[in-house]
Chains A and B, each alone.
Chain A
Amino acid sequence: MVKSNLRQSLAPWLLSMPAFVLFLGLLAVPMALTAILSFNAFDGMRGIQPGFSLTNYISILADSYYYELFLRTSAMALGVTVICIIIGVPETLILARMRPSLQGIFFVVILGPLLISVVVRTLGWQILLSRQGAVNSILLGLHLVNRPVQLLFSITGVIIGLTHVLLPFMIIAIWTALQRLDGQVVHAAQSLGAGPLTTFRRVTLPQLLPGILSGAIIVFTLSASAFATPAIIGGRRVKVVTTAIYDEFLNSMNWPLGAAISVLLLIGIVFVVVGSNKLIERKFKQVFA
């Protein structure tokens, strides 16, 4: 009896052991090494210097270049998040009202691109956003602009590309919240004389808010940590945190500085995720209860 109890309590550990060992060796150890690396000094001639120093963090905090870098990245991520909300909320509601057969098709059309390589999707935007590209042709054709707009290598272009990459995540999050929405309440509001706009603002939107917020967290963090899209569309002219890390590691070869920027990016993202989760829990206790 004792033996089988022991077996029972050891079982989950034995079952998860292989995955746990892989994660310990190839996730925990490399992440710890990166944290240590960020405290090593770097010398252009002699390379990485062992020993503890705050040089990298001090040089980041003392340089307005890095403030701008982090600010630009946050502004970009915030822009993408806001646009995803503005497009995502109505689009999800429209999808929800479709006939099941059409709904199935458009789910695949709108969410399917998630599975297509980000490099491929960004290449499409690189072509569309160029000076002779389709977006500029449309803008010129509609006489909205007089000459081609510089969209490639601009933050606007990066935001457009990232919105395309991340919109499906927002729609999925809102859709999940919509599934929990009680249709009876909407009916009640309407039968009590509320118009469609009032019903949306006072009844539907508040119930969708948790979904919108969790979608916003996902979109914001994925935008702030996106690499391929800002690198291809933004190029050297629009530097964001991830492309700066790439340059430190693969061009300047200043690994300790790159590691320090990475640590700050990770801290920033954890801060945003934990902070917003706290906010959601506090604000929407009654919704989840």
Chain B
Amino acid sequence: MSTRANGGNGPLALAFHTVVTVFILAPLVVVVLVSFSDKGFISMPFNGASLRWYQEIINAPELLSGFLLSIRLGLTAATLAAALAIPAALAIARHRFVGRDGLMAFLMSPMMIPHVVLGIAFLRFFSVMDWTGSFAALVLVHALIVMPFSLRLTLAALFGMERDAENAARSLGASRLVAFRRILLPLILPGVAGGWVLAFIQSFDDVTMTIFVATPGMTTLPVALYNRITQLSDPVTTSVSTIMIIGTIIFMFALDRIVGLDKVLIGKK
């Protein structure tokens, strides 16, 4: 880094940095703290801590079933997105064809369109097709909205790799399919896996689009949590949120080990 040549940060800069860090962490810390309170309302655990709000989760069946649905949905949608993104990324990275830029823009467009607009479009579409409340339909639209993440990381892996090994395999007589399965796929696997984890997180966390297509029997965890937060304020929401924060941190470690967190967060580098 060239700018480091300017020297380190002065006291003012460090004070500013501390304030920003507190700002970023405060809402997360407060959620975790409140979840250990022993009071029946939102309060800090300093005058009495307990795990009662973790036991209370059992009495919130919609959060439990939402959790299971979100896991199932995330797993299938991320896998489907990866399965579609790998060949599409190969087409975009390896071929020059008419409409290549258009295809890329089309496949990345769910990131551009406001999720509220996607949500109502799917709501209308599901009602026309009579797909309302269908798990398969939910998987398809989730795969669609997480596809850009999968595609971006797979493309970055394809652009960053050397083609020597693959060319050698092909010249030694390996078929296209064998070369793909034995050489190419292992080489781009970190990118694909990173894209999968990121897609899973995005699917698991989506609330804005999903809230429009969720039905009473088909409500994901963030939507159930949103409904509960807007209807009543009890600390169960904080204990569930704490579990979600811990789960995300575990996934972040996984992402860091697979592709490097900076690559995922900052994009292709």
Q: Are A227 and B124 in contact (CB under 8 A)?
A: no
Distance, CA A127 to CA B6, complexed state (A): 40
* Partner of B16 from A30, A94, A134, A176 at Cβ < 8 Å: A94
Q: Are B252 and A115 in contact (CB under 8 A)?
A: yes
Whether B112 sits at the interface, judged by CB under 8 Å, is: yes
B21, B100, B110, B113 — most chain A CB neighbours (10 Å)? B113
State which residues 232-246 of A face B: CB under 8 Å: 232, 235, 242, 245-246
**Segment of A10-18, A51-59, A63-71, A279-287 in the binding face:** A10-18
Q: A91-B20, A114-B265, A232-B230 are known contacts. Are A34 and B3 too (CB-CB below 8 A)?
A: no
Distance, CA A79 to CA B11, complexed state (A): 28
B65 → A minimal CB distance (Å):
17
Q: Are B31 and A123 in contact (CB under 8 A)?
A: yes
**Segment of B22-30, B53-61, B167-175, B185-193 in the binding face:** B22-30
Which residues from B are CB-within-8-Å of A232? 226, 229-230
Which residues from B are CB-within-8-Å of A175? 266
Which residues from B are CB-within-8-Å of A231? 226, 230
B10 → A minimal CB distance (Å):
10
Distance, CA A246 to CA B95, complexed state (A): 42
A185 → B minimal CB distance (Å):
9
Q: Are B124 and A186 in contact (CB under 8 A)?
A: no
Which residues from A are CB-within-8-Å of B128? 33
A-B contact number at CB 8 A: 279
Distance, CA A226 to CA B24, complexed state (A): 18
Which residues from A are CB-within-8-Å of B143? 22
Binary B-proximity of A75-114 (CB < 8 A = 1, otherwise 0)? 0000000000001001101111111000010111111111
* Partner of B97 from A12, A20, A242 at Cβ < 8 Å: A12
A34, A87, A255 — most chain B CB neighbours (10 Å)? A34
Distance, CA A56 to CA B188, complexed state (A): 49
Distance, CA A15 to CA B245, complexed state (A): 37
Binary B-proximity of A176-189 (CB < 8 A = 1, otherwise 0)? 10110111101100
State which residues 80-110 of B face A: CB under 8 Å: 83-85, 87-88, 90-92, 94-95, 97, 100, 103, 106-107, 109-110
A230 → B minimal CB distance (Å):
11
Q: Are B3 and A183 in contact (CB under 8 A)?
A: yes
Q: A96-B4, A225-B114 are known contacts. Are A15 and B28 too (CB-CB below 8 A)?
A: no
Q: Are B24 and A110 in contact (CB under 8 A)?
A: yes
Distance, CA A83 to CA B109, complexed state (A): 27
Distance, CA A174 to CA B119, complexed state (A): 31
B192 → A minimal CB distance (Å):
14
Q: How would you classify the secondary structure of chain A's contact residues: helix, strand, loop or mixed?
A: helix
Q: Are B116 and A225 in contact (CB under 8 A)?
A: yes
Which residues from A are CB-within-8-Å of B121? 27, 30-31, 33-34, 262
Q: Are B205 and A117 in contact (CB under 8 A)?
A: yes
Of the four ranges (under 10, 10 to 19, 20 to 34, 35 or more), the interface on chain A belongs to: 35 or more
Q: Are B30 and A23 in contact (CB under 8 A)?
A: no
Q: Are B3 and A93 in contact (CB under 8 A)?
A: yes
Whether A172 sits at the interface, judged by CB under 8 Å, is: yes
State which residues 211-257 of A face B: CB under 8 Å: 221, 224-228, 231-232, 235, 242, 245-246, 249-250, 255
B128 → A minimal CB distance (Å):
6
Which residues from B are CB-within-8-Å of A108? 252, 256, 261
B167 → A minimal CB distance (Å):
16
Whether A61 sits at the interface, judged by CB under 8 Å, is: no
Distance, CA A9 to CA B123, complexed state (A): 38
Which residues from A are CB-within-8-Å of B9? 94, 97-98
Q: Are B26 and A128 in contact (CB under 8 A)?
A: yes
Whether A125 sits at the interface, judged by CB under 8 Å, is: yes
**A-B complex: 10 closest residue pairs judged by Cβ atoms:** A183-B2, A124-B27, A225-B114, A30-B125, A30-B121, A12-B91, A15-B91, A12-B95, A15-B87, A19-B84
6 residue pairs A–B, Cβ–Cβ below 8 Å: A97-B8, A115-B251, A117-B225, A176-B266, A259-B124, A265-B116
**Which residues of B are at the interface with A, using a C-beta cutoff of 8 A?**
1-9, 13-14, 16-17, 20-21, 23-31, 34, 42, 83-85, 87-88, 90-92, 94-95, 97, 100, 103, 106-107, 109-110, 112-118, 120-125, 128, 140-141, 143-144, 147, 151, 201, 204-205, 207-208, 211-212, 222, 225-226, 229-230, 233, 237-238, 241, 244-245, 248-249, 251-252, 256, 261-262, 265-267, 269
**Which residues of A are at the interface with B, using a C-beta cutoff of 8 A?**
8-9, 11-13, 15-16, 18-20, 22-23, 26-27, 29-31, 33-34, 37, 87, 90-91, 93-99, 104, 106-128, 130, 134, 164, 167-168, 172, 175-176, 178-179, 181-184, 186-187, 196, 204, 221, 224-228, 231-232, 235, 242, 245-246, 249-250, 255, 258-259, 262, 265-266, 269, 273
